[in-house]
Amino acid sequence: MPKGIIENSENYQPGLSIDCVIFGFHDNQLKVLLIKTPYEEKWSLPGGFVPLEQDIDTAAITVLNDRTGMEGIFLRQFSTFGRVKRNDKHFNDLVLEYYKIPKEAGKWFAQRFVTIGYYALVDFLKAIPHKENSKEKIEWIDHKEVPELILDHKEILDKALATLRIELNLMPIGYNLLPEKFTMPELQKLYETILDKKLDRRNFLRKITNIGILTKLDEKKSNVAHKAPNLYSFDKDRYEEVLKNGLNQGW
């Protein structure tokens, strides 16, 4: 928790917070960025409070940067979480003692908080968290091996993943997540990993080809033991056009 929030809680919106679900794709794994504080055995999503002078979307960028050091991440707002006792007893005496927060000041943190969820799907190799002189652990963890999380963060994570899967039917993905040149099986594996289901090879090829965002290259993948597959690249202009106008199909 940034020191400025502790000392100047009056500069933040009471009862409102932000939690970020950052997905990364690497080695055919969908990973999620998690944080572990020194005083807590459980892990958490990167989250924080909303400065009074910032719009919500700007505050989300600020929160992610404060907690992870990451910049330039496009965040999508996906849901709001506001169960009455969602943060009940989270800011207990142990937390207040760790941050040296007086009990009277601790009442601000112990109030009911509604949190706004944001998510992003990023390039794992480029979106590198970097927090200097921080005692918090920041790690990419396979989304299927997520440990116990604080509060309702598992619910937030599950909702973000469900939203991501729905949006696969509305927009293309893959640009900035795959190498500049890739094979059709590699692209299909990306979709299968996120959707968590096997896709028919021929149907996938037909659907992805019909979208019109791929360029088939006059090259084949080298250094493979079996028949070398064709290489593809994304047509950036067409990709951005489809992103703007959306899709209308299912996987």
Instruction: Grade residue 179 by pLDDT with cuts at 50, 70 and 90.
Output: confident
- pLDDT score of 4 more than 70: no
State how far the Cα of 68 lies from the Cα of 44, in Å rounded to an integer: 12
Whether 250 is in a domain gets the answer no
Residue 111 DSSP label:
S
- The CATH number of the domain holding residue 65 is 3.90.79.10
Q: 48 with 155: CB under 8 angstroms?
A: no
Residue 188 has what pLDDT?
Answer: 95
Residue 21 has what pLDDT?
Answer: 98
Residue 123 has what pLDDT?
Answer: 86
Kindly state whether residues 215 and 125 are assigned to the same domain.
Answer: no
Kindly state whether residues 21 and 111 are assigned to the same domain.
Answer: yes
- The CATH number of the domain holding residue 195 is 1.10.10.10
* Average per-residue pLDDT for the chain: 89
Kindly state whether residues 163 and 188 are assigned to the same domain.
Answer: no
Residue 125, domain extent: 3-167
Kindly state whether residues 145 and 57 are assigned to the same domain.
Answer: yes
Mean pLDDT, range 175-199, rounded to an integer:
92
Whether 172 is in a domain gets the answer no
Kindly state whether residues 14 and 93 are assigned to the same domain.
Answer: yes
Kindly state whether residues 50 and 140 are assigned to the same domain.
Answer: yes
CB-CB neighbours of 62 under 10 Å: 17
State how far the Cα of 108 lies from the Cα of 154, in Å rounded to an integer: 24
- Residue 116's DSSP bridge partners are 18, 80
Residue 6 has what pLDDT?
Answer: 61
- pLDDT score of 95 more than 80: no
Whether 60 is in a domain gets the answer yes
Q: 44 with 136: CB under 8 angstroms?
A: no
> What kind and span of H or E run contains 81?
strand 76-81
Mean pLDDT, range 87-97, rounded to an integer:
73
Kindly state whether residues 219 and 154 are assigned to the same domain.
Answer: no
Whether 216 is in a domain gets the answer yes
Of the candidates 237, 175, 238, the one whose C-alpha atom is nearest the C-alpha of residue 212 is 238
Out of 84-88, 103-107, 224-228, least confident range: 224-228
The pair of structure tokens assigned to 226 is 């079996």
Tracing tokens 């990364």 back to the chain, one arrives at: 24
Q: Alpha carbon 56 to chain centroid distance?
A: 17
Residue that is last in its domain, among 134, 167, 200: 167
Mean pLDDT, range 120-143, rounded to an integer:
86
Whether 121 is in a domain gets the answer yes
Q: Please state the pTM of the whole predicted model.
A: 0.87
Q: How many domains does the chain have?
A: 2
The 3-state DSSP class for residue 5 equals helix
The C-alpha angle with vertex 143 and arms to 141 and 152, in degrees rounded to 5, equals 100
- Percent of the chain at pLDDT > 70 equals 96
Kindly state whether residues 194 and 122 are assigned to the same domain.
Answer: no
Kindly state whether residues 93 and 212 are assigned to the same domain.
Answer: no
Kindly state whether residues 111 and 14 are assigned to the same domain.
Answer: yes
Residue 148 has what pLDDT?
Answer: 95
Residue-level length of the chain: 251
Task: Note the pLDDT tens digit of each residue in 114-127.
Answer: 999 999 999 888 88
| DSSP letters spanning 153-204 | HHHHHHHHHHHHHHHTTTS---TTTS-SSEEHHHHHHHHHHHHTS---HHHH
Whether 107 is in a domain gets the answer yes
**Residue 208 neighbours by CB under 8 Å, 6+ apart:** 184, 187, 188, 214
Residue that is last in its domain, among 167, 195, 211: 167
